Chains A and B, each alone.
Chain A
């Protein structure tokens, strides 16, 4: 018995510590003190000119877009188009909406990624790191907005999505789309500044805006905020998206892991002892 227990502890010791140790860390992305950068997209100012799409293609070495926004045609982002502008026919006339990654405050993709290739940087942008990713596509399964795109036709596939021009930001520049928008429909700044700005616009011209900031609460808050003149479901937004963050969904499970890791073996060992004790005299070798 003592040998068994020692062996058991050894097995657990060697292989278990890494997992228990790793698991007991917090399941939520770290809350940093740096103010997160964000983007505010004011759809009332967007003319659907596609300048952002062209700028994005150039900044990311991608082919120029070949299609253009058409009312009520839903273009999705692809591995080669990290942002797209769609047109909608609404009660207030035609409205154009730019789509890309939302850069969630607590991104599902980051929580899903087992290699930390998908990563919420302290500055706000959610980036993808080639040298880490193993291409499992769990980020795609988890992202509520279906943003990450996978290169299915490549033997060396990448995950592609908007990075809020993280590399440009590192060099002190602002995202390419923001810089190239002729109508200032896209603003760049800290998330707090932009929320204040959005509220100011709504309160200054209440007739022009629908009183809601999409992204303030969605999915636990996102780094891309939207203003519109109509209710957001009219312009292709999913308004049923939950308000709590998505990683919250797996927290209960992940938090229970360390306790099961401790309780289960103890319970099993106890059970084992109680069921094996009575015979221990007549049958020497138990295991």
Chain B
């Protein structure tokens, strides 16, 4: 090939890559689906509320107060959302470190979910910041508050997003047909995985450690110096339950992207994850019991909050654990899915009990989020699902690329 030809073909390739990108930006699929009809108005409303929030201040849209400075946006979006995103580090641990190859088909979609969850839910942190323009201070280093748990958590969020992005990047490279880049990125995977697991261990527990100084404010049944360990252990079954839950939905909605073989295989994986969940839940319960005995809180159990505590433990940890176990024994998929949903509810309860419900539990005026705080939270979730769908429909996430679209390089070669 002469030099001129090479240049010309390189140009043609670049050109067609742009055309490809443009065409990929167009929406795929039907526009008026029930999901779109529900989500679009909420997203628009959410954006308006966010605008008001930046224009008039946090007080205009939230019920936050001088005694309850952190509400739904931190307690649910950030603290609960990140626990739900724990599936990514657990699965990458199983697939890449333990070499349990059978989970490989779902690792990409889980990592994608993890990345987007961090991007949006941890991103929700920015909405909650009173002076977000100063967020660069702890990042660029002109003001490092290194004794702050929040400093650690914030940094770990950013680094972990980077790690998951690297873990996911081969899919992007495949989508763009960049074979060389894909190989290089793939080579970085194990490094990113190990780094990511380390970061996850620390910031999952760090989210709990955030509340350690609020010892006088959190109900004694939930406050313990072991919050960080409890948060870490519970993020294992929270994350995997989310993978089970999301997986069942994703595999149904994007059914045509998945082969029958993969569908069958997926069922097997659910039982495997159910086993891990049950194990982690057992460890969690054991820790909870130890703490209860150690802090001698039996008397508190007979109060109203005690009943609430028992409901969380019995109804949303012990019950789903039993369901997970019996679903494995009876080979019953539905039971596993029910257990996963119960587990997720339990995690929401637990995180909110520490951050919102049990925070200033004895105050005369309780914090209850405004409808606007709830709408913004929903809007964030919907935007995330939109982005997720956009990626799933284009990149090789659920299945191998060739199954539904030829790689770009092939198209170019054919065009020539």
Q: Which positions in A face B, CB cutoff 8 Å? A: 3-5, 7-12, 15-16, 18-19, 22-23, 25-29, 76, 78, 108, 110-117, 131-138, 140-142, 144, 146, 149-157, 159, 238, 240-242, 246-247, 249-250, 252-254, 257, 260-261, 264-265, 268-269, 271-272, 275-276, 279, 285-287
Contacts A155-B54, A157-B131, A265-B195 given; does A76 touch B216 at CB 8 Å: no
Which chain A residues border B248 with CB–CB below 8 Å? none
Q: Which of B145, B191, B211 contacts A12 (CB 8 A)?
A: B191
Residues in A neighbouring B162, C-beta threshold 8 A? 15
In the assembled complex, which residues on chain A have CB atoms less than 8 Å from the CB atom of B176? none
CB neighbours of A272 from chain B (8 A): 96-97, 99, 190, 194
Taking A268-B197, A275-B99 as known contacts, 10 extra A-B pairs with beta carbons closer than 8 A to each other, sorted by chain A number, are A7-B188, A23-B146, A27-B146, A116-B145, A150-B66, A155-B56, A157-B58, A246-B213, A253-B205, A287-B96
A252 to B62 alpha-carbon distance, docked (Å): 34
CA distance A25 to B190 in the complex (A): 29
Bound complex: CA A254 to CA B150 (Å): 11
| Contact indicator A149/B66 (Cβ below 8 Å) | yes
Q: Report A278 CB to chain B, min CB distance, Å.
A: 9
Contact count band on B: 35 or more
Q: How far is the CB of B66 from chain A (nearest CB, A)?
A: 5
Beyond A114-B138, A153-B59, A253-B228, whether A8 also contacts B210 by CB under 8 A is no
CB <8 Å contact, B213 and A151: no
Taken together as a complex, chains A and B put the C-alpha atoms of A159 and B58 apart, in Å, by 13
The contact string, 1 if C-beta is below 8 Å from chain A, for chain B 176-194, is: 0000000000111111101
Partner of B213, one of A10, A111, A279: A111
Whether B59 contacts A250 by the Cβ 8 Å rule is no
Q: Within the assembled complex, what's the spacing in Å between the Cα atoms of A247 and B156? A: 21
CB distance from A216 to the nearest CB of B (A): 19
Chain A residues, Cβ within 8 Å of B295: none
* A10→B259 CA distance, assembly (Å): 38
Say yes or no for B322: interface residue by CB 8 A criterion: no
Instruction: Report yes or no: B192 in contact with A135, Cβ–Cβ below 8 A.
Output: no
A119 to chain B, nearest CB (A): 9
Could you show 10 A-B contacts with beta carbons less than 8 Å apart? A3-B187, A22-B151, A111-B147, A132-B143, A134-B131, A134-B133, A142-B214, A246-B215, A276-B99, A287-B186
B145 touches A113 (CB 8 A): yes
Judging by beta carbons under 8 Å apart, are A157 and B130 in contact?
yes
Instruction: List chain B residues, Cβ under 8 A from A152.
Output: 57-59, 62, 64-65
Which residues of the other chain, A, contact B133 by a CB distance below 8 angstroms?
134
Min C-beta distance of B183 to chain A, whole Å: 9
**Are B145 and A8 in contact, CB atoms less than 8 angstroms apart?**
no
Instruction: Give the docked Cα–Cα distance between A156 and B141 (Å).
Output: 22
Chain A residues with Cβ under 8 A from B128's Cβ? Answer: 136
Min distance, Cβ A107 to any Cβ of chain B, angstroms: 10
Interface centre among A16, A28, A112, A134 (most CB of B within 10 A): A134
The docked-state distance in angstroms from the alpha carbon of A115 to that of B134 is 9
A9 to B287, CA, bound (A): 35
B149 located at the interface, meaning its Cβ lies under 8 Å from any Cβ of chain A in the complex: yes
Which residues of chain A are within 8 angstroms of B194 by Cβ–Cβ distance? 8, 264-265, 268-269, 272
- Residue of B137, B197, B225 near A132 (CB, 8 A) is B137
**B92-136: contact bitstring with A at CB < 8 Å (1 yes, 0 no)?**
010011110000000000000000000000000100111111110
Chain A proximity of B119: nearest CB distance (Å): 17
Which residue of A3, A78, A113 is within 8 Å of B66 (Cβ)? A78
Contact B213 A115 (CB under 8 A): no
On whether the beta carbons of A114 and B190 are closer than 8 Å, the reply is no
Chain B residue nearest to A242 in the complex (CB): B215
A133 touches B195 (CB 8 A): no
- Are A249 and B146 closer than 8 Å at their CB atoms? no
Max chain A C-beta neighbours (<10 A), residue from B64, B145, B225: B145
Separation of A29 and B146 alpha carbons in the complex (Å): 10
Residue pair B213, A137 in contact (C-beta under 8 Å): no
Mark B202-235 against chain A: 1 for CB-CB distance below 8 A, else 0.
Answer: 1001100111111111000000010010000000
> Chain A nearest CB: distance from B234 CB in Å?
16
In the complex, what residues of A have CB within 8 A of residue B150's CB?
Answer: 112, 114, 136, 138
Is B70 on the interface with A (CB-CB < 8 A)? yes
Q: Which of B64, B152, B163, B217 has the most CB of A within 10 A?
A: B152
Q: In the complex, what's the smallest C-beta–C-beta distance from A256 to chain B, in angstroms?
A: 9
Contacts of A137 in B (CB 8 A): 69-70, 130
Cα–Cα, bound, A264→B97 (Å): 12
Partner of B195, one of A8, A141, A254: A8
The winner among B128, B151, B162 for most chain A CB atoms within 10 A is: B151
- On whether the beta carbons of B152 and A144 are closer than 8 Å, the reply is no
Among B59, B96, B130, B211: residue with most chain A CB under 10 A: B130
B212 contacts A133, CB within 8 Å?
A: no
Interface residues of B in 41-71 (CB under 8 A from A): 54-60, 62, 64-67, 69-70
Task: Let me know if B130 and A260 touch, CB within 8 A.
Answer: no
Chain A CB within 10 Å — which of B65, B125, B149 has the most?
A: B149
* Closest Cβ neighbor of A283 among chain B residues: B101
A105–B56 alpha-carbon span in the complex (Å):
36
- Which of A16, A22, A76, A153 has the most B CB atoms < 10 Å from its CB? A22
How far is B155's CA from A76's CA once the two chains are assembled, in angstroms? 35
The answer to whether B131 and A135 touch across the interface, beta carbons within 8 angstroms, is: yes
Q: Pick the contact of A141 from B65, B69, B151, B206 — CB < 8 Å?
A: B69
The reply on B332 being an interface residue by CB < 8 A is: no
Residues A268 and B211 in contact, CB atoms below 8 Å apart: no
Tell me the bound Cα distance from A24 to B66 in angstroms: 33
Contact flag A144-B216 (CB < 8 Å), given A149-B66, A253-B149, A272-B194? yes
